[in-house]
Amino acid sequence: PLWVGGFASTMPSAYPRLLQPITLRGGAVLRNRALMGSMHTGLEEGEGWGHSLEKMGAFFAERARGGVGLMVTGGIAPNAAGRVAPFAATMASSSDARRHRTVTEMVHEVGGAKIAMQLLHAGRYAYQPSAVAPSAKKAPIGWVTPHALSSAQVEATIGDFAAAAALAQEAGYDGVEVMGSEGYLINQFLVTRTNHRSDAWGGSFSNRMRLPVEIVRAVRGAVSADFILIFRLSMLDLVRDGSSWEEVVELAQAVEEAGATIINTGIGWHEARVPTIATSVPRGGFAWVTQKLKGHGLSIPLVATNRINTPEVAEAVLASGQADMVSMARPLLADPDFVNKAAAGTPQLINTCIACNQACLDHT
């Protein structure tokens, strides 16, 4: 059956692939192929002395009511050094987990949708003095020169990701997304542009990809088998000295083997000069990248992303075999009921995101 407004329906749909449930490795079932991609909403730090997350909970509960299958939060740091800015949200203690219970309980009270916490270590993109990176090289869009992590600190960071995932499960989340793209810490370890190390974490690609693979393996070992583990993989860096295609494929295969449940597409570092989400980018313009990876023997779902802003585009991406799922972030900011309206046969009522970035991305 299709799911409309939280209820099963047997009516035919113009979007059968978008609305088709999917069973993941480990047994978790998503009610459709729509993933709400991660966005920093400004709600992750909470309000007041207790840093209440009521507004964050209400935000995601509204989208759960709107019919989406799986939602990913804005990036939450696994430790203090990984914060994007001073006092940005972390998942590093039982008190953090208790606060996030508000979010997960509000979402699960609605029913139907699942929610994952994105674990994001900013690396040299951090706008705070304790920024760290594989090497002490300042980002062109950064404010500070990061400290190069020692080998022991790299190992500790892996442990922090695993601990954060376990705390996210304790908080009631259905999964986590390990942010390995867009030029953040994990991405920085992968490429020679930012990784100038000569130890076991640098040099050859097998060394440079150790961090993401070990993080995925440690996270999988810290959570239950049915806990969803998404890895956001940079399939196009769009910067000099980024990953080769052969390296992208090797990493994808390695993170699947290490225990990932889903691989989500990442397109472009934040310092890249190539437009990736602006209005000038064709709709579904990067789905071909995800399709290219599908031909390399992976058995877990691959998610296409960027400028998929109507149910027609989403259905076309899925129907053509370019991806197993589609990620939409700003379209679900523009209209929380996007999926329900598509399922009800009223796509003309969707408040379509036109990728102008006004009042959302341009305000961050």
Active site residues: 184
DSSP states of 270-325: TT--S-SSSTTSPTTTTHHHHHHHHTT---S-EEE-SS--SHHHHHHHHHTTS-SE
CB 268 within 8 A of CB 238: yes
Q: Which is nearest to 125 in space by CA: 78, 77, 82, 72?
A: 82
Facing residues of 115 across strands? 71
CB 87 within 8 A of CB 45: yes
Backbone angles phi, psi at 213, to 5 degrees: -65, -45
CB 227 within 8 A of CB 175: yes
Q: Which is nearest to 237 in space by CA: 208, 287, 271, 211?
A: 271
